[in-house]
């Protein structure tokens, strides 16, 4: 314990990766589904009308919406859908002509063709148009849409879920949408189409696949909103279960690249954001057990009688982990899935099997980063489960080799958390040091990853070095010193300043290993190089 005190910690704030929220925050907010040009069936309708759309204009089309003849209502709505496909001026004009309230009234017309065309027109009217979205909501549109969703008509349900997805890209509507739609959407779409209800197998025709995709896109956008909305989603009966069931079933039948899987994993990632701060206190208490002392740290109890690396300490951890494992439900339900040990295996399988869809693997590593983040005991339990039982390091490092910058953020954030909680730092060092040093820049011409990735990597190395001489030795062996000194000297921006401070802290810790001083000198470095800030 005395020797460990000599290491200059990176400081609590930078010694772990913070939890991450959503793809939205890294520029991956899910775009609205494209507006729909006339779908099959409209052509026949227009053929009956003498000149197609030649003798119609917007004002007369809007008037047709309130005609008593359903054929005229269909014609008016079809013209609006066609005209507003990509014409922003037409969308504005339609709103000023009061098309919005008239279309909303037709959502639940007794005539199915009228319903289809009215929802199709609305889908195009609100696409990429914030004012029209707001107008739809203010006309009691959400309530009418949820009524329409009960109709057993796939064409209609595609339009309704497409409209919901489009609405959800407006941040100012997310909380309201969550309040007014989640329970019904879960009961009507998510549970039956995920395979959770009934047979347990996903059985979707092409239209149902689109309805489910729209709905999970909608959830993905909502889940990147406020804490209040995240809580509502976690608590919504059947929502988390249907996401888990869909992902699990898709993995079983080799469909890990599926776009709805991507959406579902992004939802799970976002709902894992700040999980330990936002979960019910009773659940947290169960996960924390009786091991926390006043300082809030777990290792604090052990220092003084034996070091955290000793055999006795490892046994103490292991026994306490096993006790809680048996306490945590073997049959998780609802939000319990988000922290249940089984979910680590699901994310691990996604990392191993999803070859092409990088958004899915980024979301899986981001979700793992969230549930292993922080000082809570359970973050440590899941980290050790990931390392020791799931053997997750190899699939994660495979991803690191080919990752783009977005993926590197969540992957290195995850490794950073794992390196804090790992029981065997020597073993982890032999696996990760060379791969991570390879990603660091060593000269001005090198293509450097973003600053937060560099800081993550240095934090991992620091977490390992303070307890593992092998980590320090491997940094020297794999040419890490040259790169770390380059990063330490590079202070030309506030981002580089952060990575420079992190590198200085790590180099200071490396100097504590007297046995390596000869190697340092052979490479041309002196004591002052290591200890100067």
Each residue's pLDDT tens digit, 303-349: 333 344 566 666 666 666 666 666 665 789 999 999 999 999 999 99
pTM metric for this prediction:
0.87
* pLDDT in the model for residue 303: 33
Residue 128 DSSP code: T
Q: Which residue has the tokens 């399988």?
A: 349
Question: Options 3.30.390.10, 1.25.10.10, 1.10.10.10, 1.20.1200.10; which CATH number does 50-169 get?
Answer: 1.25.10.10
Q: Along the 533 residues of the chain, how does pLDDT read in single tens digits?
A: 222 223 232 222 333 333 444 333 333 456 676 656 654 334 334 444 434 677 889 999 999 999 999 999 999 999 999 999 989 999 999 999 999 999 999 999 999 999 999 999 999 999 999 999 999 999 999 999 999 999 999 999 999 999 999 999 999 999 999 999 999 999 999 999 999 877 778 889 999 999 999 999 999 999 999 999 999 999 999 999 999 999 999 999 999 999 999 999 999 999 999 999 999 999 999 898 855 443 444 443 333 333 445 666 666 666 666 666 666 657 899 999 999 999 999 999 999 999 999 999 999 999 999 999 999 999 999 999 999 999 999 999 999 999 999 899 999 999 999 999 999 999 999 999 999 999 999 998 888 899 999 999 999 999 999 999 999 999 999 999 999 999 999 988 998 999 999 999 999 999 999 999 999 999 999 999 999 87
Please calculate the CA angle 438-13-501 and round it to the nearest 5 degrees: 50
* CA distance to 125, 208, 245, 372, per residue, from 157 (Å): 17, 9, 22, 38
* pLDDT in the model for residue 155: 96
* pLDDT in the model for residue 439: 96
* pLDDT in the model for residue 350: 97
**Among 224, 215, 140, which Cα is nearest to 174's?**
224
Please calculate the CA angle 527-532-533 and round it to the nearest 5 degrees: 150
Write out the H or E segment, with its range, that includes residue 419. helix 405-421
* pLDDT in the model for residue 201: 80
Q: How far apart are CA 328 and CA 343, in angstroms?
A: 13
Q: How far is CA 371 from the centre of its chain?
A: 12
Topology of the domain comprising 174-286+314-423: 1.25.10
Entry field: residues in the chain: 533
Phi and psi of 213, rounded to 5°? -60, -45
CA quadruple 246, 247, 249, 255: dihedral positive or negative? Answer: positive
* pLDDT in the model for residue 37: 60
- Name the CA dihedral angle for 309, 374, 474, 407, rounded to a multiple of 10 degrees: 150
Q: How far apart are CA 206 and CA 225, in angstroms?
A: 30
N- to C-terminal Cα separation, the chain:
25
**Among 317, 416, 321, 313, which Cα is nearest to 366's?**
416
**Among 419, 396, 418, 417, which Cα is nearest to 408's?**
396
The CB density around residue 52, as the number of other CB atoms within 10 Å, is 14
* pLDDT in the model for residue 199: 72
Q: How far apart are CA 175 and CA 157, in angstroms?
A: 22
* pLDDT in the model for residue 200: 73
pLDDT digits (tens, 9 = 90+) for 58-77: 999 999 999 999 999 999 99
The CB density around residue 91, as the number of other CB atoms within 10 Å, is 23
């Amino acid at each position: 314990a005395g020797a460990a005190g000599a290491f200059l910690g990176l400081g609590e704030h930078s010694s772990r990766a913070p939890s991450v929220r959503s793809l939205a925050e890294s520029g991956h907010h899910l775009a609205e589904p494209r507006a729909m040009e006339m779908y099959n069936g409209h052509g026949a309708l227009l053929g009956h009308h003498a000149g197609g759309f030649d003798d119609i204009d917007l004002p007369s089309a809007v008037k047709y919406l309130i005609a008593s003849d359903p054929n005229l209502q269909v014609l008016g709505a079809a013209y609006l859908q066609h005209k507003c496909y990509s014409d922003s001026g037409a969308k504005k004009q339609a709103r000023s002509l009061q098309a919005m309230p008239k279309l909303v009234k037709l959502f639940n017309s007794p005539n199915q063709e009228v319903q289809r065309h009215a929802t199709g027109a609305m889908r195009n009217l609100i696409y990429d148009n914030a004012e029209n979205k707001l107008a739809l909501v203010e006309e009691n549109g959400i309530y009418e849409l949820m009524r329409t969703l009960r109709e057993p008509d796939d064409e209609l349900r595609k339009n309704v879920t497409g409209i919901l997805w489009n609405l959800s890209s407006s941040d100012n509507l997310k909380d309201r949408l969550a309040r007014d739609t989640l329970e019904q959407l879960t009961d009507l779409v998510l549970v039956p189409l995920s395979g959770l209800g009934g047979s347990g197998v996903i059985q979707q025709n092409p239209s149902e696949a689109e309805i489910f995709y729209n709905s999970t896109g909608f959830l993905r956008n909502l889940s990147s909103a406020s804490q209040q909305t995240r809580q509502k989603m976690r608590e919504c009966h059947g929502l988390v279960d249907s996401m888990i069931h869909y992902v699990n079933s898709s993995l079983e039948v080799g469909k890990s690249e599926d776009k709805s899987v991507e959406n579902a994993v992004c939802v799970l990632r976002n709902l894992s954001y700040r999980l330990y701060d936002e979960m019910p206190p009773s659940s947290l208490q169960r996960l924390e057990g009786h091991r926390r002392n006043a300082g809030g740290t777990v290792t604090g109890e052990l220092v003084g009688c034996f070091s955290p690396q000793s055999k006795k300490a490892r046994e103490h951890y292991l026994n306490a982990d096993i006790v809680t494992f048996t306490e945590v439900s073997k049959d998780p339900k609802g939000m319990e899935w988000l922290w249940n040990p089984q979910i680590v295996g699901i994310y691990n399988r996604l990392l191993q099997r999803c070859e092409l869809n990088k958004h899915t693997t980024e979301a899986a590593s981001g979700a793992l980063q969230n549930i292993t983040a922080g000082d809570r005991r359970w973050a440590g339990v899941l980290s050790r489960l990931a390392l020791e039982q799931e053997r997750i390091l190899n699939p994660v490092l495979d991803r690191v080799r080919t990752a783009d910058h977005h993926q590197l953020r969540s992957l290195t954030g995850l490794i950073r958390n794992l390196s804090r909680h790992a029981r065997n730092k020597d073993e982890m060092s032999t696996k990760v040091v060379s791969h991570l040093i390879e990603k660091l820049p060593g000269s001005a011409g090198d293509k450097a990853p973003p600053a937060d990735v560099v800081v993550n990597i240095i934090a991992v190395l620091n977490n390992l070095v303070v307890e593992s001489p092998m980590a320090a030795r491997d940094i020297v062996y794999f040419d890490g010193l040259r790169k770390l000194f380059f990063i330490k000297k590079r202070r030309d921006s506030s981002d580089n300043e952060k990575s420079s401070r992190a590198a200085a802290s790590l180099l200071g810790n490396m100097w504590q290993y007297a046995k390596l001083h000869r190697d340092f000198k052979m490479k041309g470095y002196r004591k002052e190089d290591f200890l100067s800030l």
